Chain A
Amino acid sequence: MAEILVLAEHSGETVKKVTCELLTLARRFGEPAVAWAGPGAEAARDRLAEFGAARVYVAAGPEFDDYVVAPKAELLASLVAAASPAAVLVASTPEGKEVAARLAVRTGSGMITDAVGIGEGLVAELSIFGGAIVVHSRVTSGTPIICVRPNAITPEAAPGAAEIVPAGTEISDAAKGARVTERVVQEGGERPELAEASIVVSGGRGMGNAENFAMIEKLADTLGAAVGASRAATDAGWYPHQFQVGQTGKTVSPQLYIAIGISGAIQHRAGMQTSKTIMVVNKDAEAPIFELADFGVVGDLFSVVPQLIDGIQQRSAG
């Protein structure tokens, strides 16, 4: 059975959830193998085995953290050449897509980004134009490279051997052009990462000012969620720009998306429309965001949200 190569997303020893999702997906199409770039593979091995990895190709060098993207693409290219996988799966994050991009050029392969599912024949499902059109697409040349959005599928455990295989790749000087000199971790670090979070709570223009975002954060923390913001809110300086969800910000596809005081312009919808369940609180019953809502409350967010937080806390405590 041909391999399906999965590029692991990890922070040192901790495997990110999206990697477990990709392994679950990979099992449907072949034998899942992991490409692990950087240190930490030994410690992560149990987790990778739990989700069915047959092999873990490990290149433990520091280059993967020290230089932007290119070393990871080089590692994948060497694994593609050596193991001829039936497909390569990468998390559809900004960096994941860049790794896939370089791999596509190197291997002369077609690539697909932002897949929310993969079906028979490696046909990927994705949404385009702000979620308005659903497209089924497949790669027709080279080794199919498919970038899959975090939270696209539910990870399911199934044991694998997770045999560690050293991948003795020598990273070329050409891949060492852009050197990381410092990693700056900003506020919000305690919460789950926006792209990975199962639940995202976002605030928009209706929040009125920066102080009121404390309420969004409280609701998020009650649910173990990440915090997002609409462009109106980040442009107004109410919340840091890196948390912007939308066409010019981040794209998220969580299990639950809660939009508070957000009208739902295309700019915002493009970043969240593929969320599984959408809850909306907005005082304007005509706001287009209600078209997306599985559950919507037309009302004043300043009374609805505190009551919602109380309701969640009561249920969680019980």
Chain B
Amino acid sequence: MNIVVCVKQVPDTGSERTLRPADSTVDREGTDALINVLDEYAIEEGLRLAEAHGGEVTILSMGPARASESIRKALSMGADKAVHIVDDGLAGSDAPATSEAIAAALGRIEFDLVILGSESTDARMGVLAAMLAERLGLPQMSLASEVEVDGQVIRIHRQADYGYDKVEASLPAVVSVVEKINEPRYPSFKGIMAAKKKPVETLSLADLGIDPARVGLAASGTEVVSFAKRPPRQGGTIIKDDGDGGEKAAEFLAAQKFI
């Protein structure tokens, strides 16, 4: 069973993240860049399924040259090879354009499963799996907290507000995973050494046959009108509990008409 895991490099959530005043895109200069944390769960799930059923795991990432660091990390966890979509023309692409480029790359790879993290920690839209399923005409097996493959059938638990849905589909399919699904492994020293020799294919827009006018910031279907740092909350009342803290809290709730 051949598996593609989509990986995105994102700014470290622990650093102070902002947008660039010039074009309102994510400022990637001043921050450390890491694998999107939810993608590590996707990689882990891909590795586990490949270990159980055989087959290769291919990492697929779209991003600037620097994203190769995150691709190496994914390879060091145990993936077999990688495809890196890298083209200056892609900078500032919105989600539909991103999904178009990734879908085009997937069209060149033989796979049974595509696995993604359910969202990225920078944009937090949670839409890519649905967009890929739509573009590729494949079953959308998203928000999975459990994945099981049995021959040509895949079954997941799809997380919902009330609990979960059991969902079934035929392969190939697009899967997105939530954090609950597993515990991602750390790369071993051996894995880190081996990753340096694993093949990484780079693909440009021309390679993918995508018209540059369809992607990038200029083609984005949304525009940022303005952005600003959230002003700190004003007028918060902080009290020290002197035996009546709970009562004071109840008074506050009553004054705010919550009770």
Contact = CB atoms under 8 A, between A and B. Distances in A.
Contact of A298 (B17, B137, B167, B241): B241
Interface stretch (B75-83, B94-102, B200-208): B94-102
Chief secondary structure at chain B's binding surface: mixed
Contacts of A154: none
Secondary structure at the A interface, as helix, strand, loop or mixed, is mixed
A297 B160 CA distance: 34
A314 B251 CA distance: 11
A60 B242 CA distance: 59
Interface in B108-150: 118, 121-131, 133-135, 137-143, 145
B165 interface: yes
Interface residues of A, number: 100
Nearest to B244: A307
Nearest to B254: A315
Contacts of A127: 230
B130 A141 contact: no
B169 interface: yes
A83 interface: no
Contacts of B189: none
B225 A137 contact: yes
A247 B238 contact: no
Given A70-B140, A177-B139, A298-B240, A101 B166 contact: no
A141 B173 CA distance: 29
Contacts of B13: 130, 247, 266-267, 270
Interface stretch (A25-33, A44-52, A206-214, A286-294): A286-294
Contacts of B94: 110
Interface string A87-126: 0000001110111111011101111111000000001000
A316 B259 CA distance: 6
B229 interface: yes
Most A Cβ at <10 Å: residue of B19, B161, B232: B161
A294 B235 contact: yes
Contact of A111 (B127, B137, B247): B127
Interface in A242-262: 242, 244, 247-249, 251, 255-256
B48 interface: no
B221 interface: yes
Contacts of A108: 96, 221
B259 A266 contact: no
B227 A134 contact: yes
B166 A98 contact: no
B180 interface: yes
- Residue among A131, A180, A199 with most chain B CB within 10 A: A180
A100 B169 contact: no
Given A104-B131, A133-B227, A136-B227, A186 B220 contact: no
A120 to B, nearest CB: 11
Interface of A: 68-70, 73, 93-95, 97-102, 104-106, 108-114, 123, 127-142, 174, 177-186, 189, 193-196, 199, 223, 241-242, 244, 247-249, 251, 255-256, 266-267, 270, 273, 277-279, 281, 285, 290-300, 303-312, 314-316
11 contacts: A68-B141, A101-B134, A102-B131, A132-B18, A137-B223, A177-B170, A182-B166, A193-B161, A256-B253, A295-B249, A308-B246
Interface of B: 13-14, 16-19, 24, 37-38, 94-96, 99, 118, 121-131, 133-135, 137-143, 145, 155, 157-170, 173, 178-180, 220-230, 232-233, 235-241, 243-254, 256, 258-259
Given A307-B249, A311-B251, A316-B259, 17 more contacts: A68-B141, A70-B133, A97-B127, A111-B127, A132-B17, A136-B226, A178-B169, A180-B158, A184-B163, A242-B163, A251-B124, A256-B258, A266-B14, A285-B240, A294-B233, A296-B239, A299-B241
